């Protein structure tokens, strides 16, 4: 039975793989697919999935890819949304287009909602909830949200995962991994962008997002981090009604931060909200190293007394001590116009190529800083400045941690909301005390002592391991087991084309031999006859004709006459 299920799963993945290729082909990405060695798959997928092609002649490549992702469904919409935070992987035109991707999906039936809740909580729905609103508050690709009431009378919201979405996502991840592997083998320069690594990271992100128990723990962690901050509020999680596919939280009634008219009518202070919001976000980043990664206005509610409540904790970012130090050092070096220090930090912390032109990088960074030199401090947008900085280093194929990219996008969102609430909002003023505190801690005696100890321990471990490693190398050499693995890139397509050409040449030689042999048999006029001709000669000519026509058809179809 398990073997059958595995086979069935593989068939589903193959069909999904062919469907993805067909959709990409229908949106004008034939050349990219051919580069990846998928020309034959494109022909087969068109036979299996016949559909009229959309009118794409007036669309840009970025627009066509956005439409393709929308047609491919929830997994690919999520992929596009995540890639919109990765300007180091895709061009800016694609980043801007992918930011338009929305989870425009219909809600699933209420009967399935009840069945999912009962299965996950392992009991009848009436055992956990007094009533559940049949009309969802929101529907997205992964889940939908319903308002409900507990048996104790408390008002809650239930986030319910879509039935079957896990299997769909896993099938799509399998197909994406196959495509990423082809891109690494066939597309020159793809190693700079690490397609397989990007898919692995996406798989990790979306699997975490589908696990609602993990999201519940995230809410609890944020609450613990801000336990002494009265103006930050986090919904209560009801663990008895929560599982991996069902999340039950306190219903919070508030005003969306983007509804400025309603904020004013209720006497809420926009300037105070902007200040509290920016300070809380910077505390998440620079103090806790754990921040909310999806701070668009729909995820922020304002409660009485200017209290801020955050929603939707599916996407979070993390900065360890090393990343926090790197961030503060980079910002300090940019402010001080010390380009040598900026380049040194990038070389130390970034994933760089061997062909990096440091002189050109310094020149572009100087031009970048000069563009901000005469701008008044209160007009500097830190988030956009950081995004522009990332765009520059991306041009030079310097890869930095993805959490820093998520941070830059979140900072843009926070700063934009701050300026909307308070036209005089100045993120630099809010950022300065955090950076000063971070620099002081970096050079404090306790921190310096700890860093020295870590360095000494590292060198001690290195010195301890060197004799053992040298001995291992010498032993391998003596046993003739010392191996050096070489990896070639970009030759797979050449090898495939060469094999195809050799096969065609071999087939042509066999056809020629069959024709010559049949002609010789025809001259002997011996053996059984068919319509007055030797039967063996007649069969030889027939087979040669059929195979020859097939060979001509294959050559014409490949487009290489």
SS3 sequence, 175-195?
Answer: HHHHHHHHHHHHCCCHHHCCH
| H helices present in 479-534, as ranges | 492-524
pLDDT the model gives residue 22? 83
Q: Could you give the count of Cα atoms lying within 13 Å of 33 in the half-sphere of its Cβ?
A: 20
Contact 86, 99 (CB under 8 A): no
Q: What is the mean pLDDT of the chain?
A: 80
CA distances to 216, 388, 478 from 424, in Å = 36, 22, 73
Hey, which residues does 149 pair with through a beta bridge? 131, 155
pLDDT tens string 216-263? 999 999 999 999 999 999 999 999 999 999 999 999 999 999 888 899
Angle at 44 between CA 40 and CA 47, to 5 degrees: 145
pLDDT tens string 409-464? 888 888 888 888 988 888 877 777 777 777 777 777 887 787 788 788 877 887 88
Distance CA 533, CA 523 (A): 10
| H helices present in 525-534, as ranges | none
Q: Is 292 helix (H, G, I), strand (E, B) or coil?
A: strand
pLDDT the model gives residue 488? 58
Q: Could you say which residues of the chain have pLDDT below 50?
A: 1-9, 47-52
Distance CA 180, CA 177 (A): 5
Q: Say which of 211, 294, 312, 403 is annotated catalytic.
A: 294
Residues 349-358: contacts with CB under 8 Å, at least 24 apart: 349/322, 349/400, 350/393, 350/398, 350/399, 350/400, 351/398, 351/399, 351/400, 352/396, 352/397, 352/398, 352/399, 353/192, 353/396, 353/397, 353/398, 356/396, 356/397, 356/398, 357/396
DSSP 8-state code for residue 314: S
Q: Is 238 helix (H, G, I), strand (E, B) or coil?
A: coil
pLDDT the model gives residue 47? 46
Q: Above pLDDT 90, what percent of the chain?
A: 22
Full DSSP string of 318-365? E--HHHHHHHHHHHHHHHTT-HHHHHHHHHHHSB--TT--HHHHHHHH
Q: Is residue 211 among the annotated active site residues?
A: no
Confidence (pTM): 0.72
């Amino acid at each position: 039975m398990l073997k059958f299920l595995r086979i069935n799963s593989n068939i589903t993945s193959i069909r999904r793989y062919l469907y993805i290729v067909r959709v990409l082909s229908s949106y004008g990405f034939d050349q990219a697919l051919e580069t990846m060695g998928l020309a034959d798959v494109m022909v087969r997928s068109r036979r299996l999935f016949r559909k009229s092609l959309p009118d794409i002649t007036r669309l840009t490549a970025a627009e066509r890819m956005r439409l393709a992702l929308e047609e491919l469904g929830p997994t690919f919409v999520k992929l596009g949304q995540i890639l919109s935070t990765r300007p180091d992987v895709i061009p800016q035109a694609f980043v801007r287009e992918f930011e338009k991707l929305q989870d425009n999906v219909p809600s699933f039936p209420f009967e399935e909602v009840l069945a999912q809740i009962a299965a996950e909580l392992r009991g009848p729905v009436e055992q956990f909830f007094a009533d559940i609103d049949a009309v969802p508050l929101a529907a997205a690709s992964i889940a939908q949200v319903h308002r409900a009431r507990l048996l104790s009378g408390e008002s809650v919201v239930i986030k319910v995962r879509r039935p079957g979405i896990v299997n769909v996502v896993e099938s799509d991840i399998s197909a994406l991994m196959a495509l990423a592997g082809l891109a690494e083998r066939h597309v020159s320069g793809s190693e700079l962008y690490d397609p397989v690594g990007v898919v692995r990271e996406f798989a990790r992100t979306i699997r975490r997002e589908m696990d609602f128990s993990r999201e519940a723990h995230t809410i609890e962690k944020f609450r613990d981090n801000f336990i002494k901050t009265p103006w930050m509020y986090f919904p209560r999680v009801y663990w008895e009604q929560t599982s991996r596919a069902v999340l039950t939280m306190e219903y919070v009634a508030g005003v969306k931060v983007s509804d400025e008219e309603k904020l004013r009518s209720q006497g809420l202070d926009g300037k105070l909200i902007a200040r509290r919001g920016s300070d809380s976000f910077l505390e998440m980043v620079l103090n806790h190293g754990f921040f909310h990664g999806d701070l668009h206005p729909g995820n922020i509610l304002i409660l009485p007394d200017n209290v801020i409540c955050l929603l939707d904790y599916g996407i979070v970012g993390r900065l360890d001590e090393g990343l926090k130090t790197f961030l503060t050092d980079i910002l300090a070096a940019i402010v001080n116009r010390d380009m040598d220090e900026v380049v040194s930090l990038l070389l130390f912390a970034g994933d760089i190529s061997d062909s990096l032109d440091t002189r050109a990088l310094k020149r572009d960074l100087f031009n970048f800083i000069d563009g901000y030199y005469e701008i008044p401090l209160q007009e500097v947008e830190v988030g956009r400045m950081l995004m522009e900085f990332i765009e520059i280093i991306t041009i030079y194929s310097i890869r930095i941690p993805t959490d820093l990219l998520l941070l830059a996008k979140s900072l843009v969102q926070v700063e934009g909301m701050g300026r909307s609430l308070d036209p005089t909002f100045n993120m630099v003023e809010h950022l300065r005390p955090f950076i000063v505190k971070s620099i002081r801690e970096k050079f404090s005696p306790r921190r310096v002592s700890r860093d020295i100890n870590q360095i000494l321990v590292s060198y001690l471990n290195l010195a301890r391991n060197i004799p053992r490693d040298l001995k291992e190398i010498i032993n391998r050499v003596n046993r003739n087991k010392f191996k050096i693995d070489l990896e070639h890139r970009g030759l797979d397509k050449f090898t495939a084309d060469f094999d195809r050409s050799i096969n065609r040449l071999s087939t042509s030689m066999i056809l020629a031999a069959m024709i010559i042999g049949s002609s010789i048999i025809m001259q002997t006029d011996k053996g059984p006859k068919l319509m007055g001709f030797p039967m063996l000669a007649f069969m030889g000519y027939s087979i040669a004709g059929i195979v020859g026509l097939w060979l001509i058809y294959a050559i014409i179809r490949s487009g290489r006459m």
